[in-house]
């Protein structure tokens, strides 16, 4: 599975390196805009391509495609999994400034290729103080544990499961105040950290957390930085994660249903107070789950 990172990176760096596709029909790249505002937007199909790609079409967002059943689909020249009825997913990187090239070969021969340039986002800076210092600058004796946990999460996100639970969209998993947004540059206790790859929902400890969509639990464990941690696989590389839980109510291998209570909000791991850190990935690409929600942002409790 180690190679997946290299495969995806290579794909992003070489968008025209198509392999394994022979076209009988015309190839077009009509959707590439000259500015982010001119790029393909959700539901916009200016060309005659027989496939569609929808989503918020922003940096750090999940895109979902629909092609004729039996089609072969590639992203930047690399094959994507496709459901029997022609559905597929991919993610735009949080800092992606090059278009993603989607190529579809139809079952009746012929094909189309279109580029999608994600709309650029402005990420804010957030200073967080009062964090346990041993979670900002962990002591040497826990570094191996932290590295092992990060590796475990990385590997769990590489599953290319045949499921399509991501297709139905995502509900907000918990109520609360949105106390942290995706992509912000974090300065924790005065120390510059990696960007904040998730959405924080602050709510009282013990508040229920519910699965936002059906899926398969890949990880449910207690981690040093992430605290009570659960990772759900929604198919085709789309996963969501739940951090800092005070209680975990599922286990690895469980199939969960939308709305099922999976845990409770807490302040375990690197946290100043009770909140849910909700993350979404497409393989290792970090995505903003708030851009894939089908329900309105919840009210604070």
Quote the CA–CA distance of 172 and 297 in Å, as a whole number.
Answer: 7
Least gap, CB of 193 to Zn ion (angstroms): 11
* Helix boundaries (H) for 95-235: 133-136, 143-156
Least gap, CB of 271 to Zn ion (angstroms): 8
Regarding 180 and contact with Zn ion (CB under 5 A), the answer is yes
Q: Which is nearer to Zn ion, 180 or 212 (CB)?
A: 180
Q: Which is nearer to Zn ion, 180 or 235 (CB)?
A: 180
Least gap, CB of 154 to Zn ion (angstroms): 18
CB 93 within 8 A of CB 195: no
| Residue choice 277, 285, 286, 287 for contact with Zn ion (CB under 5 A) | 277
Quote the CA–CA distance of 28 and 58 in Å, as a whole number.
Answer: 22
CB 85 within 8 A of CB 146: no
Least gap, CB of 62 to Zn ion (angstroms): 19
Least gap, CB of 159 to Zn ion (angstroms): 23
CB 236 within 8 A of CB 81: yes
Least gap, CB of 233 to Zn ion (angstroms): 21
Going by C-alpha positions, the residue among 251, 236, 263 that lies closest to residue 165 is 236
Least gap, CB of 96 to Zn ion (angstroms): 22
**Residues between 68 and 127 with contacts to Zn ion, criterion CB under 5 A:** none
Stretch that binds Zn ion, among 9-17, 107-115, 126-134, 193-201 (CB under 5 A): 193-201
Report in angstroms the alpha-carbon separations of 241 from 199, 210, 227. Answer: 10, 12, 12
Quote the CA–CA distance of 106 and 16 in Å, as a whole number.
Answer: 19
Q: Which is nearer to Zn ion, 42 or 193 (CB)?
A: 193
Q: Which is nearer to Zn ion, 12 or 193 (CB)?
A: 193
Contact characters 137-176, Zn ion, x per CB under 5 A: ----------------------------------------
Q: Which is nearer to Zn ion, 108 or 124 (CB)?
A: 124
CB 295 within 8 A of CB 104: no
Q: Which is nearer to Zn ion, 112 or 200 (CB)?
A: 200
Alpha-carbon Rg for the chain, nearest whole angstrom, is 20
Quote the CA–CA distance of 124 and 262 in Å, as a whole number.
Answer: 31
Neighbours of 127 (CB within 10 A): 11
How many residues touch Zn ion (CB under 5 A)? 4
Stretch that binds Zn ion, among 38-46, 88-96, 143-151, 179-187 (CB under 5 A): 179-187
| Cα angle, residue 228 at apex, residues 226 and 233 outer, rounded to 5° | 85
Stretch that binds Zn ion, among 44-52, 59-67, 125-133, 190-198 (CB under 5 A): 190-198
DSSP 8-state assignment for residue 66 = E
Least gap, CB of 21 to Zn ion (angstroms): 40
SS3 content of the chain, % helix, strand, coil (to 5): 15, 35, 50
User: What is the binding site for Zn ion (CB under 5 A)?
Assistant: 180, 198, 200, 277
């Amino acid at each position: 599975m180690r190679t997946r990172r290299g495969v995806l990176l290579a794909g992003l760096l070489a968008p025209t390196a198509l392999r394994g596709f022979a076209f009988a029909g015309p190839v077009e790249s009509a959707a590439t805009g000259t500015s982010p505002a001119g790029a393909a937007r959700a539901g916009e199909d200016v060309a005659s391509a027989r496939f569609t790609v929808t989503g918020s079409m922003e940096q750090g967002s999940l895109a979902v495609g629909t092609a004729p059943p039996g089609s072969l689909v590639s992203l930047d020249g690399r094959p994507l999994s496709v459901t029997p009825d022609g559905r597929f997913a991919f993610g735009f990187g949080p800092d992606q400034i090059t278009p993603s090239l989607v190529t579809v070969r139809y079952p009746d021969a012929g094909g189309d290729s279109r580029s999608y340039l994600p709309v650029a986002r402005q990420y804010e800076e957030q200073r967080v103080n009062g964090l346990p210092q041993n979670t900002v600058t962990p002591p040497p004796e826990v570094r191996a544990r932290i590295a092992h946990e990060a590796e475990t999460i990385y590997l769990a996100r590489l599953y290319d499961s045949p499921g399509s639970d991501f297709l139905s969209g995502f509900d907000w998993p918990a109520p609360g105040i949105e106390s942290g947004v995706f992509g912000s540059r974090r300065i924790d206790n005065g120390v510059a950290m990696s960007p904040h790859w998730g959405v924080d929902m602050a709510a009282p400890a013990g508040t229920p957390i519910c699965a936002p969509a059906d899926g398969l639990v890949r990880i449910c464990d207690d981690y040093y930085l992430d605290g009570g941690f659960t990772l759900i696989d929604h198919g085709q590389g789309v996963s969501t994660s739940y951090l800092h839980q005070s209680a975990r109510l599922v286990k690895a291998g469980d199939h969960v249903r939308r709305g099922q209570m999976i845990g409770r909000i807490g302040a375990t791991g690197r946290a100043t107070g009770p909140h849910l850190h909700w993350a979404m990935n497409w393989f290792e690409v970090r995505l903003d789950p708030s851009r894939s929600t089908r329900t309105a942002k919840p009210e604070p409790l």
